[in-house]
Each structure stands twice: as structure tokens, then as C-alpha cells.
Chains A and B, each alone.
Chain A
């Protein structure tokens, strides 16, 4: 969900410039191009259709309001996605005033080097189609708490560094690390019966 969809017509940059001059039609075209991505990202975090709709619309309204601040340092989609994610995080923070969700403790025993995944993971006997895998991963993500899911999404899909996540969410880097580790452990448990595609083995570990 990181790329810009294939579109004909003027580039985003050109539309942004027109919209910055007050051209509502250009802004409408930007909404048309990216509304699905923005709604999808918001929904992936809040997991509620109505809230996702409100928040994604609010993101677009805020984008219009702040369009003059957009300097083109990042792509327009990155910029509007950050606005939407920040709105989600604000929304979750407000909700958590009323609904305190205790986070399970992550085991941080320095010597606890047990495997995250069951050994069957690496046995490519049964394969799921990519679309089936996506559905399974989506279902697993839905079972995570909002706090764990948010950190995982920001790191894996938005490709944010730990320090960026910490700043956005308002938590320490240590908390980012422990939430991410817990989220992955939980995902591994939820996906334990999946088989891993061969192609994934080609990536080397860092040196």
C-alpha cells in the first residue's frame, strides 16, 4: 500500500500545486486517486468502518486546510497518510481515556532465545495463494490489540523506524521494541499453521 496507483492525467505534484491555488477540482482528483488507500490504512488501524470513514474524511479536510504547508519533501501520498495516521492515533488516545486496555507483558529475559515460530513454518509442503495469505494475515492483525497492531503496521507497512514510531505514538523506543516483539510473537502464534513461501528464504540476515 505504499505506491501511487496507476493514473492517467496530471501527476500528483501538478494537482497539488493547482489545489494549493484553490482549485477544488484538482483536490477532488487527488481524493479520487488516493481515497481508497487512505481509508484502507485508517481502517487497518481502527478496525471500525464508521470511525474509519469519519477519520479518513477528516484527514482529507485537514489536508485541504494545510495544503499550503506541503512543500513536496515527501510524496503527497506519504504526506496525507501521515495526517491520517496522526488522526487515528489521536482518536485511539482519546478512546483509551475510557477504555484502558492492559498490555500483556513481553518476556524480556535476556536468555530467552526460544524460537518465535514453530519448526513446521519452514516446511513448504502446503502453500496458500497470496490472496489467501493476505486474508489470513488480515485476520491475525484484527486479533491484535490496537496498541500492538498500530506499532506493527507503522513498522511493517509504513516502513517507519523505531524512533519515528516512538515520536508519532508518544511512547519510548523501548516500548516500541517490546510492543513490536509481542505483536510478532502473537502473529506467529496466529499464523502457526501457515507454510512459508520459498522466496522468503533468499533474504540474508544483517551482518
Chain B
């Protein structure tokens, strides 16, 4: 049961509009019965509502000629995409295959990759890398870079000009080999 003191003018308005549940509606009805101010406000709300409803302003006139109005609607309809559910002539386009990367995009990561491989071939001939962990490939240190701009390779860093590249470095002392795996993140 709603507390009488919790009833607000909005509740009274909802009662006048017939929008309250039966329990609250009864509570408001009781209040209106015994409170002249609530009764006066309810009456005002009802009068105003009927005044507005019964004197709805005439619709604003169309500011253009009907022919022009219809012509614009027709244009809009013609611009619509055919709806496959309703248009039997609708021939759905083939599903779009992923767009192959343009040559310039391939070059963007191919050149740094070639540079990295060249370094890999060249560095072992100059010095023995310090093996972080002897063992197999499984023991190797993998160093995925966070910002994809720097490849860390056993104490050496290779700057890559492309921010869309991820790298992974493996070192195997057993095989005396370091493998740098470069991947294009934005092509994945």
C-alpha cells in the first residue's frame, strides 16, 4: 500500500491519466476524496488535458507542392538497395573475398624482413651470440614486441619502420640458430 505522504503531484497526474496500478490508484482516489487541494489540482489537470486534446492544432501545411513531395519520395525509393526478401530480381553480390594487400603494403614489411634475415646471416659470422638458454626451440626465448616497432634479437635490436608488424624471436643453442618470425598484424 503506497504511503500517502509519498504521493506526488505526478502521481495525481498519472491517476487523472488512468496510468496507475489499482492499488496506487485507490490510494490517490482516497487522497483526492479528503484533500481539497489535491482535488483542485486533479481537476485542473483534467481540464487542461481535455482542453489540449480537444483543440489539437491544425497540422502545419505542406510547404512544397504535392507533386514535388511525391517526386522526392520516388527518388528516395529508387535509391534504396533492393531488398532480397521482397525483390525477386535481387541478385546478391558474391561475398567479398579479402582484398589482397597491395604491392606497396607487402614491400612495407618485406624490406625490413629481408634486412633482419641479412643480419641473422651476417651476425653469427662476426661473433657468437650469448645463448640465453641452451636447449631446443622449446627453450628458446620468445620476445613479442609490444609496439611492434622494434625487433629484439639476442642482444641486438633491429628497427623496423612499420608499426603494423609483430615479431617473435627464437634461439636454439643446440642448433646454433636464431629465428626471427615477422608477421603483419594488420593482415591477420
The distance in angstroms between the C-alpha atoms of A85 and B165, with both chains bound, is: 49
* B52: A residues at CB distance < 8 A: 137, 152, 156, 187
B51 touches A184 (CB 8 A): no
A177 touches B14 (CB 8 A): yes
Distance in angstroms from A114 CB to nearest chain B CB is: 7
B47 touches A196 (CB 8 A): yes
B46 touches A205 (CB 8 A): yes
Report if A101 contacts B (CB, 8 A): no
B32 touches A205 (CB 8 A): yes
* B15: A residues at CB distance < 8 A: 206
Interface range on chain B (Cβ under 8 Å from partner): 35 or more
Report if A110 contacts B (CB, 8 A): yes
A44 touches B59 (CB 8 A): yes
Count chain A residues whose beta carbon lies closer than 8 angstroms to a beta carbon of B: 68
* B40: A residues at CB distance < 8 A: 113, 115
Report if A112 contacts B (CB, 8 A): yes
A134-162 with Cβ < 8 A to chain B: 134-135, 137-138, 141, 152, 155-157, 161-162
Could you give, for residues 36-64 of chain B, a 1 whenever the CB lies within 8 Å of some chain A CB and a 0 otherwise? 01101111111111111111111111111
The distance in angstroms between the C-alpha atoms of A84 and B85, with both chains bound, is: 23
Report if A83 contacts B (CB, 8 A): no
Distance in angstroms from B54 CB to nearest chain A CB is: 7
* A40: B residues at CB distance < 8 A: 58-60
Question: Can you list the 3 inter-chain pairs with the closest CB atoms, starting with the nearest?
Answer: A40-B59, A138-B57, A113-B37
